[in-house]
Chains A and B, each alone.
Chain A
């Protein structure tokens, strides 16, 4: 290789003026001799042509993408959860393809090794019997799951998707810092980093022979599908739910791979088979890519306090009916002390040396090792042996570089003697540095890489890229990464052109009809309530706007009509002292909450419109005052609601989920209208009540056109309850509900209408046969009650 010369370094001008790698630390941009690594030249060339202003413009393009896509970083602090902007370091980490091949081969060997170890730990136990592993290390690990002992996975393999945290040491070779076997996260974030970074550097990305990521995901998806067997069952992703810090990623990758996103309560076991509760009844599923830690997966056989699991899941696995990616219990491989034994186990099981070493580790349960750790404590990190945290992620360190970081009852040395079996010493690792853009120049910052491997039809396949963590300071010790910093895309740069790739099947692939998608009952429930809450928000807004508008005119809240509006709003828990009522913000929160649980089924635009509405309302709540100010604020908010509704109802595909959303909206609207007419179209209603109903029902223009008389009780009820052409009328909404419900699964049972379909038809007919004269207040209230009862019926039939 003809390393770039110093001349070249100078030719990049101010960009590299301050780029000085730390002494004794390897660097990704510059090789050991200080020359620029070949793979970086096109990118550097491109960067040096961009003015700082242009660079910023491009960076914000990438940041904007991430914000729009809703990628955020969830930080758990003391009692509070904060959502921060995604900390993308815009300069990717570049790895030459030749070097990448070595990394991928080393990690594939390690993946095989881990598979052999986990198969032994849940099988023959030769490693313990032959003295390669101390029994106590496994028996005391909370991740070695006794109910899974002796259970062979139906596919023959325990491990299917792995991540490895690796770093480059001072001598330029790569080291494994930790193995992720439980439920590795980051692959979805790596994809998002890629999309953002490719937007920032679109020209150079196209020309620089960067390997694409889609092929990896397509192979992995095919591998998941092939685990299903041929019984018509499905594959899905099992998530702990929206409160998990990486839930966003679960939803994203479910959308990307076209897999159902499931929570434990979506699943049930029937006669040893795993089933999904869907709106079309129980449907078999046999492959779960789980993002849930194993001990929470089944409260019957595992952690009995788990609310996230599925009772009976372990039994279904034991009967060979579920392929888990990865097998329950595979988390034991993350035990930190295992790193001390893997080099020798590799020799014993594979008859070979580790192709890529892991960080040197000493388990203090052995006298020689304990003595070594004590003698070299100043150059070590000392940590709990059974911990599964990565060195720079966990807060459980006992001592760092000779400094004790935890209070112990006895002096640390004595404590160490007492608790030796629970402790490991690990060599303090120094990482390599990679360029980060700061103030118009590149500066070196420490980094580690997370690399993903999937088991495919052709063996282990590494994702040609990865997830880079970038340290926040120029301290290159691995442990300093804990202070947090940034993340970056990883480009594997080929020597020649690379194939463009997408998730879509190639034209040469055989045509496969996708299985029809099933809607899990829980998703249907959330979509239905999203529809209801958004509609309720709109209804409340219209009423509150009408209240403030009239209040602004008269200045007197005791005017009978104004007092009646206030009383009616009390049914919704709305108090009117503040410009934007708290109850309105709560209803909006409920809508956002429902939407957040179905991110995998919801367009990014829809999500943005909803959160924008929520944020605007919250901001206004701090400033808007009662009266005219509030009336104007509500006009703005109402436009935003209609924006959201427009997106949903114009752009959303008419799949079953949309029907639930629509039924929710129509049911809420019909119910609210019945209540409002009962209050304001009653013969005893205060003066102005009829006009108010027409205004809140958004039908002023229509009323004027259809009836050439002043508003009377009859015209109001005719237009807002009985007019089948008016989308604000009760009858119109009941027609929508009836039509949509007839398209739901099981609307007919053995050729006959279901009980729910009958109930819907009955309310609809009841109303259709009325006239304004017969539809008095008592009838309106009765119809309202029947509409509310439909909600219970829907819930019983589809959403539980």
Chain B
């Protein structure tokens, strides 16, 4: 699938910030075999005093910007064309849950794909007895890891109520789980905690969803904003798979990846430190439109 993606983020400050430094993860990723960034442009207003591109530990492209003059708003605008390649259907060659520990132990690597980074607690995900118990209810020791991921993702989707008003970016997974409501960020953090709680390495993916569903299908939740879902490691053979708990589905060509990490902290679209006194507000909008494939190809 080919998409044209438009993202607009507006940060407004109550009293002008005298300066600031921000780390951005806004551009769709270029992932060989999964996704191709055909073209991408990030426009920032006002123009920052510094702008520097980089790559973080998990391989996500970053842009670091700095301001040294007073400003009371920043506008980020991404225009990108992305080709999302269809993933081969998941061949379930994953071990049963009981065998996963040994496979994790076999990976002698600290590379960014190594499952060991995605176990235990991270900044925004703490293992929690209630969530672990919830996950245990849904799986059995003989279940394969892929089936366990599906069972937990689906189970969570059934137990939770999607409510864009109920939580904020600062809501913890525990709190959202206790009230059984939230948005994609909460669903994803909860699912990660559930998976890690029973020993499945799990991470967080930020990205986009196509805005308008194909004819005859329902519109997906979270399509009008930046989206998030979960990746899980299913053994040496199967590797990483991705599941969207908000929509209860394995990730396919409707999902466009921006960044991957352990949780939201690793992939936050705009991280920043301001020299400012007042409060700030954020607004953002997303457009993900499939590009008609009926291009004129004048092959003579």
Contact = CB atoms under 8 A, between A and B. Distances in A.
Partners in one complex: yes
A635 interface: no
A304 B109 contact: no
A312 interface: yes
A271 B109 contact: no
Interface string A102-142: 00000000000000000001000100111100111011100
A4 B278 CA distance: 74
Interface string B103-145: 0110111110010110110000000000000000000000000
B56 A135 contact: no
B265 to A, nearest CB: 7
A135 B57 contact: no
B120 A140 contact: yes
Interface string B60-94: 00001010100000000000000000000000000
Interface of A: 121, 125, 128-131, 134-136, 138-140, 146-147, 149, 269-272, 299-301, 304, 311-312, 315, 318
A139 B116 contact: yes
B36 interface: no
B272 A128 contact: no
B21 A300 contact: yes
B273 interface: yes
Given A270-B68, A271-B50, A301-B23, A129 B109 contact: yes
A304 B271 contact: yes
Contacts, number: 66
27 contacts: A121-B110, A125-B109, A125-B111, A128-B109, A128-B110, A129-B108, A135-B107, A135-B110, A135-B114, A136-B104, A136-B105, A136-B116, A136-B119, A138-B110, A139-B110, A139-B116, A140-B120, A146-B58, A149-B110, A269-B21, A300-B23, A300-B271, A300-B273, A304-B265, A312-B21, A312-B66, A315-B52
A272 B57 contact: no
Contacts of B117: 139
A134 B107 CA distance: 10
Nearest to B129: A409
Q: Give the most central of B265, B271, B273: most A CB within 10 Å.
A: B273
A400 to B, nearest CB: 26
A135 B108 contact: yes
B65 to A, nearest CB: 10
Contacts of A270: 50, 66, 68
A300 B272 contact: yes
B107 A311 contact: no
B66 to A, nearest CB: 7
Given A131-B108, A300-B271, A139 B114 contact: yes
A125 B110 CA distance: 7
Given A135-B108, A138-B110, A140-B116, A149 B57 contact: yes
B264 to A, nearest CB: 11
Contacts of A134: 105
A301 B114 CA distance: 21
Contacts of A138: 110
A312 B67 CA distance: 12
A136 B120 CA distance: 10
Kindly list the 8 A-B residue pairs having the minimum CB-CB distance in the complex, ordered from nearest.
A146-B57, A311-B273, A139-B116, A311-B21, A135-B116, A125-B110, A312-B21, A136-B116
Nearest to A268: B19
Nearest to B22: A300
Contacts of B120: 140
Contact of B119 (A128, A140, A272): A140
Given A121-B110, A135-B110, 4 more contacts: A125-B110, A138-B110, A270-B66, A315-B54
A272 B52 contact: yes
Contacts of A149: 57, 110
A299 B109 contact: no
Contacts of A131: 108
Contacts of A315: 52, 54, 64
